[in-house]
């Protein structure tokens, strides 16, 4: 079986498992009362909605990677790395599931950070870390900050049906596109499995009659997996600017995280408390429909994914030009969003 067929089958299998297990997770959540109530003005849904869709996402992701173990011949290093991805992913999934089950109180942000740091250190122990920075202790600290930051970015952006899952699907495929010519098998396999898991969940997240939220158990897993995936590819073979490709690929959730934190701090509020400052909610205030916002964000992520690929493929001057163009657009978008009035 060729590598391309394996990746296509991985996406398809993960999609099928996610699509079939999402309604089962919904029934389980309803059976035990694990629902998200619109209990505060910050909530964007009108009725109590089952959570724990992340169980379907993580199940399909983990099951696909486990199945690939028996269908392919993993080098020993790849198997070691995939085990770290699954162990760290299990930690953040468990953290998110506990938070989902105990809403609206949930888990405090300090405990969340402790568990996320532990999951990041699992990756570091397996050799998954930033390689282009020295000395090693500095690289380890920056790796932990990157993993925890991206993990939370996908949680923060999860304010609208389909937004976090669609971003994860596009980003996964972008990382697969960049890594595919090489032999970074853990990146290739994990990207394919995660893309299928996110895509399979989307129909149920969009459903009006049988809706389920991914909850923290889903958004944290997506962010953690993508942070780990992003650390496994050599981006600077053509030019040193290529190391910024992961930031460009994940720029939509990263932008929202920084944008929201800046606005909350400007208002004298804690960046860890919820608000309606997210770019998606501001666009909704400006008259955009939710489907249009999710589609716009997904298309922007596709463009940024291609931009990330160009950073790794063009000459130094070309890569700098791409980076400058993206930076100019991001600043213009931030300026536009900043002036949309939002009332929490």
The answer to whether 305 and 174 are in contact (CB under 8 A) is yes
**Of 33, 43, 16, 34, which Cα lies nearest the Cα of 161?**
43
Q: Residue ranges per domain, the chain? A: 3-338
Tell me: pLDDT of 76 over 70.
no
Tell me: pLDDT of 3 over 90.
no
Q: pLDDT for 123-148, tens place per residue?
A: 999 999 999 998 999 999 999 999 99
The answer to whether 61 and 225 are in contact (CB under 8 A) is yes
Q: Which residue has the higher pLDDT, 271 or 8?
A: 8
Residue 36, SS3? strand
pLDDT score, position 186: 81
Hey, what's the torsion of the CAs at 100, 147, 261, 275, to 10 degrees?
-10
CA 280 to centroid of chain Cα atoms: 16
pLDDT score, position 126: 93
Tell me: pLDDT of 209 over 70.
yes
In angstroms, the Cα distances linking 16 to 9, 60, 295 are 10, 8, 23
Q: Tell me how far apart the alpha carbons of residues 311 and 49 are, in angstroms, rounded to a whole number.
A: 41
Tell me: pLDDT of 13 over 60.
yes
β-sheet bridge partners, residue 50: 35
Q: Is residue 287 exposed (0-12), middle (13-18) or buried (19+ Cβ within 10 Å)?
A: exposed
75 band by pLDDT with thresholds 50, 70 and 90: low
Q: Tell me how far apart the alpha carbons of residues 86 and 147 are, in angstroms, rounded to a whole number.
A: 14
pLDDT score, position 182: 67
pLDDT score, position 264: 85
Tell me: pLDDT of 122 over 60.
yes
Q: pLDDT for 251-299, tens place per residue?
A: 999 999 999 999 888 887 777 777 788 999 999 999 999 999 999 999 9
Q: Tell me how far apart the alpha carbons of residues 193 and 187 are, in angstroms, rounded to a whole number.
A: 10
What percentage of the chain has pLDDT greater than the value 70? 94
Residue 89, SS3? helix
The answer to whether 171 and 268 are in contact (CB under 8 A) is no
Q: Tell me how far apart the alpha carbons of residues 22 and 19 are, in angstroms, rounded to a whole number.
A: 6
Mean pLDDT of the chain: 91
The answer to whether 200 and 19 are in contact (CB under 8 A) is yes
Average pLDDT over residues 298-304: 98
């Amino acid at each position: 079986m060729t590598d391309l067929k394996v990746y296509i089958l991985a996406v398809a299998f993960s999609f099928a498992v996610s699509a079939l297990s999402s309604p089962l997770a919904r029934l389980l959540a309803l059976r035990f009362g694990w629902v998200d109530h619109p209990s505060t003005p910050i909530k964007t849904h009108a009725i109590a909605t089952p959570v724990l869709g992340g169980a379907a996402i993580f199940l399909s992701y983990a099951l696909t990677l486990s199945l690939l173990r028996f269908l392919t011949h993993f080098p020993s290093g790849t198997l070691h790395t995939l085990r770290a991805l699954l162990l760290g992913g299990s930690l953040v999934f468990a953290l998110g599931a506990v938070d989902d089950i105990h809403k609206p109180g949930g888990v405090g942000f300090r405990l969340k950070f402790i568990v996320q740091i532990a999951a990041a250190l699992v990756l570091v122990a397996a050799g998954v870390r930033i390689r282009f920075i020295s000395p090693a202790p500095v690289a380890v600290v920056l790796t932990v900050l990157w993993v925890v930051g991206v993990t939370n970015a996908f949680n923060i952006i999860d304010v609208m049906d389909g937004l976090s899952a669609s971003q994860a699907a596009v980003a996964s495929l972008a990382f697969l596109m960049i890594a595919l010519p090489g032999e970074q098998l853990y990146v290739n396999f994990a990207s394919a499995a995660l893309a299928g898991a996110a895509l399979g969940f989307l129909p149920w997240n969009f459903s009006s009659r049988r809706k389920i939220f991914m909850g923290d158990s889903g958004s944290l897993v997506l962010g953690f997996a993508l942070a780990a995936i992003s650390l496994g590819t050599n981006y600077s073979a053509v030019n040193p600017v290529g190391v910024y490709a992961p930031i460009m690929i994940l720029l939509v959730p990263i932008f929202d995280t920084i944008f929201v934190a800046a606005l909350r701090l400007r208002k004298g509020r804690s960046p860890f408390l919820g608000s309606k400052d997210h770019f998606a909610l501001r666009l909704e205030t400006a008259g955009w429909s939710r489907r249009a916002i999710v589609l716009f964000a997904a298309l922007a992520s596709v463009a940024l994914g291609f931009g990330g690929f160009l950073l790794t493929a063009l000459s130094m001057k070309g890569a700098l030009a791409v980076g400058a163009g993206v930076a100019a657009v991001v600043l213009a978008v931030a300026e536009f969003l900043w002036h949309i009035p939002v009332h929490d």
